[in-house]
Structure 1
Amino acid sequence: MHTEQASAADGPLTVETVLVPVDGSEASVRAAEYAVAVADRYDAGVHALYVLGEELVRAIESDTIDEETAAAEAQAFIEDIADDADEHGVPVANSTAYGFSTSSKMTHPGSVVLDTAEDLDADFIVVPREQLTGEPGEVLSKAAEYVLLYASQPVLSV
């Protein structure tokens, strides 16, 4: 891998934080692996953002699913990412966000990813590009296009 240059005036790409949104899918496992590789290359850290999808958010709000159970599942997924990153000496921070809101039409997975990138001052985003299969939990399948269109930082879609 070589260092990208936007222009001679901008100099080489500097990366301190790589944001990777995940949702528990196989595609997000692959994206996390790429995020760790990018962070390792640039001596950066990874921030894994677990994005909860519409079905899960609705289930939590209607008490069909216990919020603590959902949080535990998300945390277990993040811990797997952190274990992999630890083997490469890459630090991992994490957070969880609702990728859907019953009260705000402006909340969707793509906007949540970009808002988090801005809040963290992330330098690079690795977003999973999932096939739309209709499986529950595939939260980020629609977000990749949005992130690719509107992100101000470099984006790798895998």
Structure 2
Amino acid sequence: MYKTILVPTDGSEGANAAAEHAVDIASRYDATLHALYVVDVRMSPISTEMDRDEVIQLLDQSGKRPTTPVLDQAEEKDIPATEAIRLGVPHEIIREYIDENDVDLVVIGTHGRTGLEHTLLGSTTERVVRTVDVPVLTVHLDTSKEPG
């Protein structure tokens, strides 16, 4: 049913929760996981004119890549995984990536923004759900659970 599962990630806890679901689904269907991080050129000092290698070098200098938690979860479960880092507008790049890689399922986290913050920032997840032609599983981070 699913052979290629995309997990767009920004390194947030919501994205990591989505990755858990994606890894579980990938293990059930012997699917390959794709971890995609899109550097949003609208909200960053990075522009589309920068070389991709320069951007990766900047990410590496800042610490962990946002894709690392997804790849680590996949590796723990012996799920084949691939990493992609792209520049652009996130929902547009996600849509392009889906088409280029014959993605069967997108598993994406939500931030749960509401009100003015949602209106001003928009929702990448919402735009993906509305504009892609493959199933999208949205995973909302349950912040009501306390660790322990």
TM-score (norm 2): 0.74
What displacement does 1:112 show?
Answer: 1.2
- Which one of the candidate residues 5, 13, 24 is aligned to 1:37? 24
Deviation by residue 1:2-23 (Cα, 9 ceiling, x = unmatched): xxxxxxxxxxxx1110001001
The answer to whether the 8 Å contact 2:10/2:67 transfers is: no
The answer to whether the 8 Å contact 1:21/1:50 transfers is: yes
Alignment match, 1:60? 46
User: Are positions 1:116 and 2:104 aligned together?
Assistant: no
Q: After TM superposition, which residue ranges in structure 1, 4 or more long, deviate above 6 angstroms?
A: none
C-alpha distance 110-74 of structure 1, shift in aligned 2 (>3 A): farther
Q: Which amino acid aligns with 2:83?
A: N
Alignment match, 1:131? 112
| Percent identity of equivalent pairs | 31
Deviation by residue 1:50-104 (Cα, 9 ceiling, x = unmatched): 1112322xx124x9xx7322255586332332222112111110101123xxxxx
User: Are positions 1:148 and 2:129 aligned together?
Assistant: yes
C-alpha distance 72-34 of structure 1, shift in aligned 2 (>3 A): farther
Deviation by residue 1:20-71 (Cα, 9 ceiling, x = unmatched): 1001111111111111111111110100001112322xx124x9xx732225
- SS in structure 1 of the partner of residue 107 of structure 2: strand
- SS in structure 1 of the partner of residue 97 of structure 2: helix
C-alpha distance 73-156 of structure 1, shift in aligned 2 (>3 A): farther
Give the Cα–Cα distance (whole angstroms) in 1 for the partners of residues 62 and 101 of structure 2. Answer: 23
The answer to whether the 8 Å contact 1:24/1:74 transfers is: no
The answer to whether the 8 Å contact 2:11/2:69 transfers is: no
User: Are positions 1:78 and 2:67 aligned together?
Assistant: yes
TM-score (norm 1): 0.70
C-alpha distance 45-75 of structure 1, shift in aligned 2 (>3 A): farther
Deviation by residue 1:105-141 (Cα, 9 ceiling, x = unmatched): xxx321211110110000110111112386xxxx9x6
- SS in structure 1 of the partner of residue 11 of structure 2: coil
- SS in structure 1 of the partner of residue 111 of structure 2: coil
Consecutive unaligned residues of structure 2, counting only runs of 5 or more, are 140-148
Alignment match, 1:23? 10
Paired residues, what number?
128
Alignment match, 2:82? 93
